């Protein structure tokens, strides 16, 4: 009997080994069977069929089901991927750039609207000429390839005009979050190693507050009428009127050169200047329009910040590379969203999860069914809202994606798989080397006995990583301006000994078909209102104000809200904390989305780590529940603008969504 089981196990092993050797197992098997029956006779075919039957019976049927389910999806993805790789290689070999590709679009659609903003419209030709005048001005001012100019503006098309103009002379724009103030703003300018700053008159006071700490030789340029009240600032309005609009001196470029910087908090510390190369801008934009079939006939509604990847790259990229008209909004308005889409005749729109939730909370209006929006794309859409959102607003396709601004991990869900932010191939995972590596309960990477990362199985949480292939624009890691910060995002011995991979800092879960679902962020950040919040930055601000070291910041889940709301736990045994002063300091130094919505004043220090920091896992689990926490709890009352006591009734109102934060 033992020998029978031994033979059976051997046959099973041979069957699985044989079938798993084939890239497309099912198709290859039948092709092999036909070949053998034709040339070698029916005996060989029967042997092959027997092996395959054993494979199916002993569990192979599960993989066959996956092949049948995902083959069309994977083939389409392979087609897009190969096209992108071919074009990136071609553009790299010919010394192309985003300004040059934009010039080709201008030649195709010179008089077509490129950007629409409020009651103004710029054609592709007008954008080209405006960016030429900006390029010539800064070239005459001494800016050359590699020089960096920080761009500090509210959401408006000029943000694009300026980084495009700088790119035409090889200079690099650093796109600053216009919500930043004080030390955070100064840090971003310094982190980008900027030689100049362009700012709008609305943000002059923010720059004036840090002007004394800026380098003396930094160039300051403002857009607006009159004086900006910033020392040594030059008004660009009259200067650009005199600047020529002919093509500026074009430097020799590579498609892998820097285009501009986008700031991201990463997973630790203050914001970092992430490098966006020409090639990265290209494939992030083109991947979305290839999968979602966005064309020059579309009109895209972009109410997202232009200093971020989604709005500033993927949104703007549709205009630059496809000839799509893009509608830019100063800020998102839930009450005007569908009215705008009707007014501008939009056929596509961008979102983040909060936008979808805000739209669902709006009262019904006629415009929500009169629009022509057929596709929306973005990230963070709650699975529970997905179908309901589509049904109410009649949007055919929701293109949920995941993209790491600074890394090589970009995935997309183009076939309406509810809740998924993308996928990886289960048939041929080598096709696009992005995967999940297993993490423990504290989100630490798990390795096997050989020191190689363990891949997460379907249903297991894992950190998303992308294999780094130096020299391949699609697989290389551009990283940050800071080399030290870049090194922290790279892991070794991931897929095999000696290799390298980019660590996204995000934990996802994969199902049996390879679809991936976002779960959580690792490290010292959390996401709130569509922004990454650095706990280190908030903790630093609090510590300076209260003069205490025992304070930690973390994100907590709030029912009905996207991401995690900020909460600060501060050790205050003697009731010394003045919340009015703390609130004033937070408002001065931090953007609204970074300010803690909950405060926990602890009578004694909780458990600490080996480096004497308060353990966040326990605090996060207790969140802001006064029914289990004996410490004093406070919440930010958005109506009064002050921290007030968080009672059990208020806690219940928050959970029941009667009180909105």
Q: What is the pTM of this model?
A: 0.83
What lies within 8 Å, CB to CB, of 623 at 6+ separation is 556, 557, 567
Of all helices (H) and strands (E), which one includes residue 263?
strand 258-264
pLDDT category at 51 given cuts 50, 70, 90 is: low
- Averaged over 628-652, what is the pLDDT? 94
Q: Is the dihedral of CA 295, 300, 306, 310 positive or negative?
A: negative
pLDDT of the residue at 55 = 60
Listed residue (641, 480, 621) closest to 555, CA to CA: 621
Q: What is the mean pLDDT of the chain?
A: 88
| CA gap 26, 52 in Å, rounded | 9
The topology under which CATH files domain 424-469+484-519 is Luciferase; domain 3 (2.30.38)
The DSSP string of 451-519 is SPBPBPPTTSEEEEEEE--TT-TTTS---BSSHHHHHTTEEESSSSTT-EEEEEEEEEEE-TTSEEEEE
- The answer, yes or no, to whether residue 72 has pLDDT greater than 90, is yes
- Is pLDDT at 6 greater than 60 in this prediction? no
Three-state SS annotation for 18-71: HHHCCCCHHHHHHHHHHHHHHHCCHHHHHHHHHHHHHHHHHHHHHHHHHHHHHH
Q: Using alpha carbons, select from 144, 142, 109, 139 the residue that is nearest to residue 127.
A: 109
Annotate 491-509 with b (16+ C-beta within 10 A) or e (fewer): bebbbeeebbbbbbbbbbb
The full DSSP string for 311-361 is IIIIIHHHHHHH--EEEE-SS--TTTHHHHHHHTT-SEEEEEHHHHHHHHH
Residue 15 banded pLDDT, cuts 50, 70, 90: very low
How high is the pLDDT of residue 59?
Answer: 64
* Residue 3 per-residue DSSP state: H
Highest mean pLDDT among 88-102, 219-233, 479-493: 88-102
Tokens of 468: 């780094």
Domain ranges of the chain: 2-71, 424-469+484-519, 525-655
Is the distance from CB of 278 to CB of 95 less than 8 angstroms?
Answer: no
d(CA 421, CA 99): 30
Query: Residues of the chain with pLDDT > 70: what percent?
Result: 88
Residue 1, pLDDT > 70, answer no
Distances (CA, A) of 412 to 53, 280, 642: 35, 16, 41
Strands (E), 92-159: 113-117, 120-123, 148-152
Q: In whole angstroms, what is the distance from residue 408 CA to residue 476 CA? A: 7
Q: Which two tokens stand for residue 37?
A: 């029956």
pLDDT confidence of residue 126:
98
Most confident of 105-109, 246-250, 490-494, 586-590: 105-109
Whether the domain at 424-469+484-519 and the domain at 525-655 fall into the same CATH topology: no
> Shortest CA distance to 481 belongs to which of 263, 220, 651, 164?
263
Tokens matching residue 327 = 């509608």
Q: 661, 654, 657: which is closest to 627 by C-alpha? A: 654
> Sorting pLDDT into bands at 50, 70 and 90, what band is 610?
very low
Q: How confident is the model at residue 24, as a pLDDT?
A: 47
pLDDT single digits (tens) 200-241: 999 999 999 999 999 999 999 999 876 778 888 999 988 999
Instruction: Give the model's confidence band at 54: pLDDT under 50 very low, under 70 low, under 90 confident, else very high.
Output: low
pLDDT, average across residues 623-651 = 94
Predicted pLDDT of residue 367: 97
Check: CB of residue 373 under 8 Å from CB of residue 326: no
Section 67-91 average pLDDT? 94
pLDDT tens digits along 361-381: 899 999 999 999 999 999 988
Residue 138 has pLDDT above 90, yes or no: yes
CA angle 66, 70, 74 (to 5 degrees): 135
Question: pLDDT value at position 14?
Answer: 47
Strand partners, 534: 525
Mean pLDDT of 574-581: 89
- Tell me, what's the pLDDT at 21? 45
- Top-confidence residue, 389 or 405: 389
- How do residues 301-349 score in pLDDT, each as one tens digit? 999 999 999 999 999 999 999 999 999 999 999 999 999 999 999 999 9
Q: Are 339 and 366 in contact (CB under 8 A)?
A: no
Q: Helix crossing, 98-108 with 124-140: angle to 10°?
A: 140
What's the pLDDT band for 262 if we cut at 50, 70, 90?
very high
pLDDT for res 612: 38
Instruction: Give the model's confidence band at 562: pLDDT under 50 very low, under 70 low, under 90 confident, else very high.
Output: confident
CATH architecture of 525-655: 2-Layer Sandwich (3.30)
Given this model, what pLDDT does residue 33 score? 57
**Residue-level pLDDT at 41:** 59
């Amino acid at each position: 009997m033992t020998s029978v089981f031994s033979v059976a196990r051997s046959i099973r092993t041979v069957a699985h080994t044989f079938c798993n050797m084939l890239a497309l197992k099912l198709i290859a098997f039948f092709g092999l069977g036909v070949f053998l029956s034709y040339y070698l006779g029916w005996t060989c075919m029967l042997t092959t069929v027997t092996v395959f039957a054993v494979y199916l019976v002993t569990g192979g049927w599960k993989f066959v089901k996956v092949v049948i389910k995902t083959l069309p999806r994977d083939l389409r993805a392979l087609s897009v991927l190969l096209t992108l790789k071919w074009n990136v290689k071609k553009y790299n070999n010919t010394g192309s750039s985003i300004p040059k590709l934009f010039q080709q679009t201008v030649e195709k659609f010179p008089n077509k609207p490129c950007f629409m903003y409020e009651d103004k419209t710029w054609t592709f030709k007008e954008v080209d000429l405006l960016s030429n005048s900006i390029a010539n001005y800064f070239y005459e001012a001494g800016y050359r390839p590699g020089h960096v100019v920080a761009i500090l503006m509210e959401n408006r098309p000029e943000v694009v005009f300026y980084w495009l103009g700088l790119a035409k002379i090889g200079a690099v724009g650093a796109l600053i979050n216009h919500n930043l103030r004080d030390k955070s703003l100064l840090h971003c300018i310094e982190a980008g190693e900027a030689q100049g700053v362009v700012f709008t008159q609305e943000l002059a006071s923010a720059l004036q507050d840090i002007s004394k700490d800026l380098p003396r030789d930094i160039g300051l340029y403002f857009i607006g009428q009159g004086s900006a009240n910033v020392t040594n600032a030059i008004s660009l309005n009259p200067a650009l009127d005199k600047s020529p609009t002919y093509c500026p001196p074009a430097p020799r470029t590579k498609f892998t050169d820097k285009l501009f910087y986008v700031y991201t908090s990463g997973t630790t510390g203050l914001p970092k200047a992430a490098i966006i190369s020409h090639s990265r801008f290209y494939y992030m934009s083109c991947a979305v329009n290839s999968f979602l079939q966005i064309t020059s006939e579309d009109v895209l509604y972009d109410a997202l910040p232009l200093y971020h990847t989604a709005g500033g790259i993927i949104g703007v990229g549709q205009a630059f590379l496809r000839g799509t008209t893009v509608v830019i909004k100063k800020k998102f308005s839930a009450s005007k969203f569908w009215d705008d889409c009707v007014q501008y005749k939009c056929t596509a729109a961008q979102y983040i999860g909060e936008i979808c939730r805000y739209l669902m909370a709006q009262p019904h209006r006629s415009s929500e069914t009169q629009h022509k929006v057929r596709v929306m794309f973005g990230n963070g859409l709650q699975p529970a809202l997905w179908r309901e959102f589509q049904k109410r607003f009649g949007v055919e396709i929701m293109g949920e994606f995941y993209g790491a601004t600074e890394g090589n991990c970009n995935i997309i869900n183009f076939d309406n798989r509810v809740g998924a932010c993308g996928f990886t191939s289960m048939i041929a995972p080598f096709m696009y080397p992005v995967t999940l590596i297993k993490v423990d309960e504290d989100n630490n990477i798990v390795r096997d006995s050989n020191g190689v990362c363990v891949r997460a199985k379907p249903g297991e949480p894992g950190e998303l990583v992308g294999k780094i292939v130096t020299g391949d624009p699609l697989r290389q890691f551009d990283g940050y301006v800071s080399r030290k910060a870049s090194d922290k995002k790279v892991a070794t011995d991931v897929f095999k000994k000696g290799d390298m991979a980019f660590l996204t800092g995000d934990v996802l879960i994969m199902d049996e078909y390879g679809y991936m679902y976002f779960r959580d962020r690792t490290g010292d950040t959390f996401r709130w209102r569509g922004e990454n919040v650095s706990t280190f930055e908030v903790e630093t601000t609090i510590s300076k104000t209260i003069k205490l070291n025992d304070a930690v910041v973390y994100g907590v889940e709030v029912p009905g809200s996207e991401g995690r709301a900020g909460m600060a736990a501060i050790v205050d045994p003697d009731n010394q904390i003045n919340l009015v002063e703390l609130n004033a300091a937070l408002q001065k130094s931090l953007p609204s989305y970074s300010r803690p919505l909950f405060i926990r004043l602890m009578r004694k220090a909780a458990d600490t780590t080996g480096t004497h920091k308060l353990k966040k896992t326990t605090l996060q689990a207790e969140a802001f529940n006064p029914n289990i926490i004996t410490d004093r709890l406070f919440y930010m009352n958005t109506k009064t603008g002050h921290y007030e006591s968080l009672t059990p009734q208020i806690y219940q109102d928050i959970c029941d969504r009667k009180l909105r934060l």
